[in-house]
């Protein structure tokens, strides 16, 4: 498992484009922001300019310089280029939603971007300029683990679940049948006394 509990794995047209935990922005979308790039935000009755700071602060990026989607933990940031060095920035944090949802959808880059929760993490799908993007992101998503085992969520993997079982239930109790383990009871692996 990675040093941190979150990550992102990005694909473009079915091909893995993530190369590291923090894949460089220029490798994924063909551009990176500079110190002159900014986004504008309205608050306190006035517009304020803030540095964009997208480069190096996200796990994965998809799109191009005109429209870029950035992924960090359970959060996506969407950047739209308005003018030279000026961007529109919006985002969504999925773990703080006060409602139960099965699909989040937003119009971005002339097409819809869709995010669905799946097995403890999130899946983002986006069709843009003839390319199909898919990104797994969130808790337990680990690129080295995916490359080795082809499993997205480390925390739902058999290796991690076995580690947790060994940590909390002594093996002699498991083999003697004194513990009922969820799911194994249907197979007759529980103590009937």
Let me know whether 51 and 83 are in one domain.
yes
Query: Which token pair is 28?
Result: 């994924």
| Domain total of the chain | 2
Same domain, yes or no, for 20 and 79?
Answer: yes
Residue linked to tokens 């308005």: 82
75 and 147 fall within a common domain:
yes
pLDDT tens for 139-162 read: 889 898 888 888 888 777 777 777
Contacts of 113 (CB under 8 A, 6+ apart): 69, 78, 105, 106, 107, 124, 125, 126
Beta strand 38-43 with 86-93 is: parallel
Q: What is the pLDDT of residue 81?
A: 93
pLDDT of residue 59 exceeding 60, the answer is yes
From 62, 73, 85, 53, select the one nearest 138 (Cα to Cα).
Answer: 73
Bridge partners for 131 per DSSP? 128
Residue 24 lies in a domain: yes
Residue 14 lies in domain: 6-153
**Structural domain contains residue 1:** no
Highest mean pLDDT pick, 111-115, 155-159, 166-170, 171-175: 111-115
112 part of a folded domain: yes
Residues 144, 192: one domain?
Answer: no
Q: Looking at the predicted structure, is the pLDDT value of residue 4 above 70?
A: no
Q: In whole angstroms, what is the distance from residue 105 CA to residue 77 CA?
A: 14
Residue 124 and residue 112 in one domain: yes
Among the ranges given (66-75, 76-85, 106-115, 161-170), the one the predictor scored with the smallest mean pLDDT: 161-170
- Say whether pTM exceeds 0.75: yes
The tens digit of pLDDT for each residue in 36-49 reads: 999 988 888 888 89
**What average pLDDT does this structure show over 45-70?**
92
32-39: long-range contacts (C-beta < 8 A, 24 or more apart)? Answer: 34/85, 36/85, 37/85, 37/86, 37/87, 38/85, 38/86, 38/87, 39/79, 39/86, 39/87, 39/88, 39/89
């Amino acid at each position: 498992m990675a040093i941190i509990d979150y990550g992102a794995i990005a694909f473009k047209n079915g091909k893995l484009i993530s190369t590291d935990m923090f894949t460089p922005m220029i490798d994924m979308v063909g551009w990176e922001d500079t110190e002159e790039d900014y986004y504008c935000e309205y608050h306190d009755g006035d517009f304020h300019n803030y540095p964009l700071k997208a480069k190096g602060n996200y796990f994965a990026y998809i799109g191009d310089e005109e429209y870029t989607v950035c992924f960090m933990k359970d959060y996506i940031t969407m950047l739209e280029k308005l003018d030279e060095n000026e961007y529109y920035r919006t985002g969504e944090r999925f773990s703080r939603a006060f409602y139960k949802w099965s699909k989040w959808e937003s119009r971005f880059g002339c097409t819809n971007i869709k995010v669905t929760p799946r097995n403890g993490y999130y899946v983002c799908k986006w069709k843009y300029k003839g390319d199909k993007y898919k990104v797994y992101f969130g808790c337990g998503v680990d690129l080295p683990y995916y490359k080795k085992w082809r499993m997205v969520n480390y925390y739902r993997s058999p290796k991690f679940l076995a580690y947790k079982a060994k940590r909390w239930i002594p093996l002699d109790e498991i083999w003697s049948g004194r513990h009922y383990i969820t799911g194994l009871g249907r197979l007759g692996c529980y103590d009937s006394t």
